[in-house]
Amino acid sequence: MNRPRVATPVPPSPGGAAPLPDVGARPLAELIERLRAQTWIDDPTAGWCTATAFEAESPVWPARGWASIELVAVTESAERDIWEYTFHRGDGEPAEVPVAFVWDKADAELRARVYFNKAHFGLNDPRRPVLAPENFEWPDELKRYFTAVTTGDRELLKAVVHPAAEFHSPIGVVGRDVFVTALSGGDGGVPLEFNTVTGAGGAYVVEFTSWRRPPHAGLGVYSFRDGMVAGARVYEGPVYR
């Protein structure tokens, strides 16, 4: 087993931390407290590390001088909880950094996984694979979406993606036509492996491995309408082929 990273200092980001607004009225202190309670945290930059090392090394430590932090959505199950945020910079680009935390509750040791686009911090190494696939029952609409994305079948992609769908991707928000065109090119789709699936009222949170060169990990949150993907928020990157 790999040894966890030790803590080393990280320069602070500009701005000042602010309380969390909106969804669930969950205070910033609750996020910090839960992070500090973890035995291990898997972070795109700090790697597999202790909570102390994450606090010292990760650029998305919540109290590292962010202008504000907005809670976007919460998905909770018996196996895991997923908290999604937008971290706002006081200055610098991009102004918004989407970050997702997965709290694994299936083990006696508290473990968390963190997903964000490393390119937002000037880093260009894709994230390594994180998880082995779990056994789960495929929801029909998610299975059709998975088949369309992995085969690159243009007609199937058009059939499973809603015309008004919006994909909040690592490169920004893209519409259905851009998404379909990008995934139905000459490369034959994206070689994805879904590792965990957490359902919540017509939406699914998926931790996945993309076997593009080089392989990397990510998290997607997919909402459906009439059996079609109506929206997605994806936390991964950068992806170089």
How much is the pTM? 0.87
**Coil, strand or helix at 115:** strand
Q: What percent of the chain has pLDDT over 70?
A: 86
Instruction: For the chain, report the end-to-end CA distance as a whole number of angstroms.
Output: 29
Q: How confident is the model at residue 224 (pLDDT cuts 50, 70, 90)?
A: very high
User: For 83-110, what is the mean pLDDT?
Assistant: 93
Residue whose structure tokens are 């006081």: 90
Residue 62 pLDDT: 95
pLDDT tens digits for range 11-42: 333 333 333 334 345 688 999 999 999 999 99
> Which sequence spans correspond to the domains of the chain?
23-121, 140-235
Provide, for the chain, the percentages of residues in helix, strand and coil under a 3-state DSSP scheme, each rounded to the nearest 5.
Answer: 20, 35, 40
The two tokens of residue 200 are: 């919540």
The two tokens of residue 218 are: 């990510």
Query: What is the rounded distance in angstroms from the CA atom of residue 173 to the CA atom of residue 239?
Result: 16
- Which CATH number does the domain 140-235 belong to among 3.30.70.1150, 3.40.640.10, 1.10.3660.10, 3.10.450.50? 3.10.450.50
Which range, 2-6, 28-32, 57-61, 151-155, is most confident? Answer: 57-61
Query: What is the rounded distance in angstroms from the CA atom of residue 167 to the CA atom of residue 123?
Result: 23
Choose among 69, 58, 77, 52: nearest CA to 15: 69
Choose among 65, 69, 62: nearest CA to 87: 69
- Which CATH number does the domain 23-121 belong to among 3.40.50.620, 3.40.50.11540, 3.10.450.50, 3.40.50.720? 3.10.450.50
Q: How confident is the model at residue 173 (pLDDT cuts 50, 70, 90)?
A: confident
**Coil, strand or helix at 26:** coil
The two tokens of residue 70 are: 């907005």
Strands (E), 13-57: 40-43, 47-49
69-96 burial by CB neighbour count: b if 16+ within 10 A, else e?
Answer: bbbbbebeeeebbbbbbbbbbeeeeeee
Choose among 96, 75, 63, 72: nearest CA to 170: 96
The two tokens of residue 140 are: 């029909």
Q: What region, left, alpha or beta, does residue 178 occupy, with left being phi > 0 and alpha being psi -120 to 50 degrees?
A: alpha
The two tokens of residue 72 are: 């976007």
Residue 13 pLDDT: 35
- Fold equal for 23-121 and 140-235: yes
The two tokens of residue 176 are: 């259905």
Please name every residue paired with 81 in a beta bridge, in sequence order, or none if there are none.
76, 103
